[in-house]
Amino acid sequence: MTIRDDQLPWIDILHLDHLWFQVAGTLCNLTCSHCFISCSPKNDSFGFLSLADVQRRLEESVPLSVKEYYFTGGEPFLNPEMTAILIETLRYGPATVLTNGTVLKDEWLAALRRAEETSLYSLEFRVSIDGCSPEMNDPVRGAGTFARALKGVAKLVEHGFLPIITAARVWPLEQDREVIDRFLAVLREAGYARPRL
C-alpha cells in the first residue's frame, strides 16, 4: 500500500523543548564496549557539523521556542569548532555538552567560562565515567581512561564548572550505595568538592 503526502495527518509543531546536535558524528577518541552507535577513532560514518550548520539550526529554532540545546558525538570536543559552537549557542539558550572529558584543553574552558559569564544562559557539562575506579571504568572505556576523565573533571572544576558525572551501571544493583559513596569520595579527592553524580 502506498500513502500519499496528502493522506498523512497534519502535525503542527508549535514548539520544540530540546534540540540535539550530533556535532562530532560517530568519531570518538575512545572505543567503548557499550556505545550504542559504535563511535570510535575509525568510525567517521557521519562527519562533523560545522559552525555554519549549527548557526542555521539555531536561527531556525527560535520560532519553535526551543528551551535547551544538547551536544553529543562521538566526542564533541574532537570537532575543531566545538568551542565556537557552544559560545554561539549561549546567545540562544542554555547548552549542555556530553563528553568523555579526556580531550579538554584549558584554553577552550577559559573561553567557555568567559562566554557563560557574559551570557544569560548556563553551560553544563556531562562527563561519562563508568565506575569509581580504573578497575570498573577501563574495561568498558579503554585502558587509562579513568585517570584521563578524572583529569578532565578537575580541569572543569578549576575553570568554575560543576560537571554532572554520568555512569552506565557496570556493577551489581545491590552495590549501588557502596559504589556511589566511593564515586563521590574519589571525585572529592580529585578536587571536586561538590560533585554531582
Say if residue 50 is exposed, middle or buried (CB neighbours under 10 Å; 0-12, 13-18, 19+).
Answer: middle
- pLDDT range class, residue 6, cuts 50, 70, 90: low
- pLDDT range class, residue 8, cuts 50, 70, 90: very low
Type of residue found at 3: I
Which pLDDT tens digit goes with each residue over 159-182?
999 999 999 888 899 999 999 999
Q: Which residues of 112-136 are buried (b: 16+ CB within 10 A; e: fewer)?
A: bbebbeebeeebbbbbbbbbbeeeb
Which of 155, 49, 55, 50 has the alpha carbon at shortest distance from 100? 155
Least confident residue range of 16-20, 55-59, 176-180: 16-20
Residue 152, pLDDT above cutoff 80:
yes
Residue 2, pLDDT above cutoff 80:
no
79 is written with which cell numbers? Answer: 570537532
Q: How far apart are CA 151 and CA 189, in angstroms?
A: 12
Q: Provide the CA 54 distance to its chain's centre, in angstroms.
A: 16
> 197: which residues sit within 8 A by CB, 6+ positions away?
164, 165, 167, 180, 183, 184, 187
Q: What is the pLDDT of residue 43?
A: 85
Which pLDDT tens digit goes with each residue over 95-131?
999 999 999 999 999 999 999 999 999 999 999 999 9
- pLDDT range class, residue 40, cuts 50, 70, 90: confident
Type of residue found at 6: D
Q: What is the pLDDT of residue 128?
A: 96
2 is written with which cell numbers? Answer: 502506498
**Inter-residue contact 81 to 110 (CB < 8 Å):** no
Q: How far apart are CA 66 and CA 69, in angstroms?
A: 8
Residue 155, pLDDT above cutoff 60:
yes
The residue ranking higher by pLDDT, 2 or 110, is 110
Instruction: With residue 164 as reference, give the H or E element that holds it.
Output: strand 164-166
Q: How far apart are CA 172 and CA 151, in angstroms?
A: 26
- Domains of the chain by start residue, with CATH: 14-189 (3.20.20.70)
Least confident residue range of 14-28, 45-59, 72-86, 116-130: 14-28
Residue linked to cell 562521538: 74
Q: What is the pLDDT of residue 14?
A: 62
Phi-psi region of 65 (alpha: psi -120 to 50; beta: other; left: phi over 0): left
